[in-house]
C-alpha cells in the first residue's frame, strides 16, 4: 500500500521518518510512504529535540485554533492529494492525525443530496490524535458549519488508533477513535506517552493493529 504520512506539530517529515522507522521495518517492504512537510512554521516540539539538528526547520499543517488557517490547509491538502495521489492510506501523528481526520470529516459534512462521499483513503493509521479540530476550536461553526457532528457520519474506513496510557491527550485520542466505525476499528494503547514507541513489544503490537486495518481495507 502507498501511504501519505503527516507529521506532528513542531516537527517535520524527517522526524516522522525516524519516529516510524522501526514500525515501517516491521510492516515489511510491500508498502511505500510519502512523507510531506507542513507549510505553517511552528516552534520545535521540545519532546523531540534529540531527533533533530538545531538548525532544522519545523512545521505544522495549520494553526488548529484558526478556522481560516485550517480551511486553507484543507484546500492545500485536497490539491496535494489530487496532484500526487492516489494513495491507499494515510498515516498521521498528533496534529497530523487530527488534521487529516478532520479533513475527511469535513468532506463527509459537505456531502450534498445524500450522495455517498468517496474518501481519498482506504485505510487510516492514527497515532496520538489529540481529538478532532472541532472538539477544541471555539470557532468551529465557521469551519465545519453549525449542524456538523462527527457522530452523524462515522469515518467508515478501516482504521488503527494508537496512543499511550500516559499521553496527556489520551482522552481526546480515544474520542477521535470512537468517531470511526467500530466494526473496522483497531485500537492499541501502549505504555508510553505522546510518542510512537520503539520497543520491540510495542512495535509488534502496533503492527498487529495496523495489519488488521490493512487486511480489512484489502478485503
> If we measure between CA atoms, which residue out of 67, 193, 61, 60 comes closest to residue 127?
193
Residue 102 a catalytic site member? no
Specify the DSSP element, H or E, that contains 2: strand 2-6
Residue 47 a catalytic site member? no
120: Cβ contacts below 8 Å, ≥ 6 apart: 81, 85, 86, 87, 104
Catalytic option among 167, 169, 177, 190: 167
Pull the grid cell for residue 171. Answer: 482522552
Catalytic option among 13, 94, 102, 177: 94
Longest dimension (CA), the chain: 51
Residue 128 a catalytic site member? no
What is the pairing mode between strands 123-127 and 89-93?
parallel
3 state SS for 87-100? CCEEEEECHHHHHH
Give dist(CA 104, CA 2) in Å, integer. 18
Inter-residue contact 44 to 10 (CB < 8 Å):
yes
Residue 128 DSSP code: S
Task: Provide the annotated active-site residues.
Answer: 94, 167, 194
Amino acid at each position: 500500500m502507498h501511504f501519505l504520512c503527516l507529521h506532528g506539530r513542531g516537527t517535520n517529515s524527517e522526524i516522522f521518518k525516524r519516529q516510524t522507522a522501526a514500525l515501517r521495518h516491521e510492516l515489511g517492504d510491500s508498502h511505500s510512504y510519502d512523507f510531506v512537510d507542513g507549510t505553517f512554521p511552528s516552534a520545535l516540539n521540545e519532546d523531540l529535540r534529540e531527533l533533530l539538528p538545531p538548525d532544522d526547520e519545523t512545521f505544522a499543517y495549520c494553526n488548529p485554533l484558526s478556522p481560516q488557517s485550517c480551511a486553507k490547509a484543507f484546500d492545500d491538502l485536497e490539491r496535494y492529494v489530487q496532484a500526487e495521489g492516489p494513495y491507499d492510506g494515510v498515516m498521521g501523528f498528533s496534529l497530523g492525525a487530527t488534521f487529516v481526520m478532520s479533513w475527511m470529516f469535513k468532506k463527509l459534512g459537505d456531502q450534498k443530496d445524500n450522495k455517498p462521499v468517496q474518501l481519498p483513503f482506504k485505510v487510516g493509521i492514527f497515532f496520538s490524535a489529540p481529538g478532532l479540530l472541532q472538539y477544541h476550536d471555539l470557532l468551529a461553526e465557521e469551519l465545519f458549519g453549525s449542524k456538523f457532528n462527527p457522530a452523524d457520519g462515522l469515518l467508515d474506513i478501516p482504521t488503527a488508533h494508537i496512543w499511550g496510557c500516559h499521553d496527556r491527550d489520551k482522552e481526546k485520542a480515544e474520542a477521535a477513535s470512537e468517531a470511526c466505525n467500530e466494526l473496522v476499528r483497531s485500537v492499541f494503547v501502549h505504555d508510553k506517552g505522546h510518542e510512537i514507541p520503539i520497543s520491540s513489544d510495542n512495535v509488534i503490537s502496533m503492527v498487529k493493529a495496523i495489519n488488521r486495518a490493512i487486511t480489512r481495507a484489502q478485503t
